[in-house]
A and B are shown apart, each in its own frame.
Chain A
Amino acid sequence: MSLIVLKPGLFTTVQDAGRIGYREWGVPTGGAFDQGSAGIANAIVGNDPDQAVLELTLLGGEYSAKSPLALGIAGAPMEARIESSDGAVRDLEIPSSVTLQAGDRLILGWAGEGARTYLAVRGGWRTPIRMGSRSSEDRLQSGDILPAETGTIRSRRLARPDGRFPTAEPFRVLDGPDAAIRGAWIDPSYRVGSRSDRMGLRLEGEPIAVESSVNRLSAPVAPGAVQVAGGRLIVLGVAGGTMGGYPHIAQVISADLDRLGQLRPGDLLRFRRTTLDEARAEARALRIARRNLLLRIATAARDD
């Protein structure tokens, strides 16, 4: 009936599709940084894509079950294994489904590539709902207990979705409201700084000269906003503020937002300017492809 957090990993939170409709009150959408992977973890256990999952960052942590739980795991491939109370050890591949038996320990190590892994349970994690969402920025602590339905699922390994973490691919951007001051920022590559989190990715690279008016009024921003602060680029994450005062030079297209959530400190990234038509076509194509993929996975899970 619940999962016990033995070790919470580096930064583990409960996430879902996010809080829709509260931006005007200064409440960011939040939700899983990589919605696509969270959706796959859910589909593996037959859930709808918006059920609450655990978002594990770089290092997963250790968990145990009080009663059998039907789990699905997807996203960044981490070292993963289950240790039973009798000493038996089973390695897990990601993405996959598995039943965590009462007394078993689920041990999730470092992510080999990508940054965020998603752990779903059939029926979703039943943490409290606030403003229509279970998304929370509070990191899990040792001893936390996550309520969930008891369940079992056949162990199955899924094919890794193609091209999930091509961080070498440029992130496509549209001009932002302050694009006029862009200068030559788009060509160089940048490195993801260590102080990057769900609020934003801080990029390291050649400083960018930007004429910023001291009188610039704050304006609404959205995840994927590329801002210049003190000559450095910040790309806003899903938990970033709803308005910003820094020059907003570009906006990552929605089809590339999930990939932002898989960037690790030290990763190189580049940008490429695209057109509104291409961005919308990509967004449509991604929505359709995702719907079909999730339907296929969830149907297979329910047939088990």
Chain B
Amino acid sequence: MISIEPLGDCAYLAHLPDERSAAGWARALRRLDWEGVTDVVLAYRSVAVFADPDRLDPEVLGARLRTIDPASPGPIAEGRLVEIPVLYDGEDLPDVADRTGLTSDEVIALHSGTTYEVFAIGFLPGFPYAGYLPDRLSGLARRESPRVRVPVGSVAIAGRQTGIYPGESPGGWHLLGRTPIRLVDLEAGVFAIQAGDRIRFHPILTDEFEIRRHDHHHP
């Protein structure tokens, strides 16, 4: 079941039953590439669609959105898979291990042994909310006092989700490690991860981290 309601007078918000169908619906809509649609924003089980009313009548948009098949199968059923190399040297790794009753190596193996769906991008430009974590890594509340400065590229977990800090910023998630990959280039407007993508972390060592940190390629 899909419900589509107006979000103000020139946008719509579609609600889908689960994260996967919301991502599929957003991909189907993006592929249609309608003239006048400016933004398709996926977050968990909802998708917002914004249009320029000078180019696309909002009423027409509303009627057209209802024609999208929410169960569009085929090549758009799954998002891209983005590989994220991680040096697991995070400040909170020992504490996470302690609180989950695992060893640090087990935390790393569990965190990097799962393919995650990216549910949303937000809070900061390019910050991916991804999940869900394996049960044994899940359930840690955010830190009581958020860090004032989380290092750029930090890979972190909270609750059932994992995320990556694309730039230096404040943050309350538990830091497991750092990726040398540059996730956002705000000057160029280039972003490595899109909501609806899948991501997989793979552990690297310090040498590789240092080498990859200095080449500015996106994954």
Contact = CB atoms under 8 A, between A and B. Distances in A.
Q: Among A220, A251, A253, which residue has the most Cβ atoms of chain B within 10 A?
A: A220
A25 B40 CA distance: 10
A297 interface: no
Interface string B5-32: 1111111010100000000000000000
A197 B53 CA distance: 27
B7 A177 contact: yes
Interface residues on A, range: 35 or more
Interface in A226-262: 241-243, 251-255
A20 B38 contact: yes
Interface residues of B, number: 42
A23 B120 CA distance: 11
A27 B125 contact: yes
Contact of A243 (B10, B40, B43): B43
Contacts, number: 111
B152 interface: no
Contacts of A174: 6, 8-9
Nearest to A219: B46
A287 interface: yes
Nearest to B127: A26
A245 to B, nearest CB: 10
Given A131-B186, A131-B189, A242-B122, A24 B10 contact: no
B208 interface: no
Interface in B162-205: 184, 186-187, 189, 191, 194-195
A252 B43 contact: no
Q: Among A24, A132, A217, A222, which residue has the most Cβ atoms of chain B within 10 A?
A: A24
Contacts of B8: 174, 222, 224, 251-254, 279
Given A20-B38, A130-B186, A251-B7, A218 B122 contact: yes
Contacts of A255: 9
A154 interface: no
Contacts of A254: 8-10, 53
B9 A24 contact: no
Q: Among A25, A130, A287, which residue has the most Cβ atoms of chain B within 10 A?
A: A25
Interface in A24-39: 24-27
Contact of B9 (A176, A243, A280): A280
A241 B123 contact: yes
Interface of A: 20-27, 130-132, 174, 176-177, 217-222, 224, 241-243, 251-255, 276, 279-280, 283-284, 287
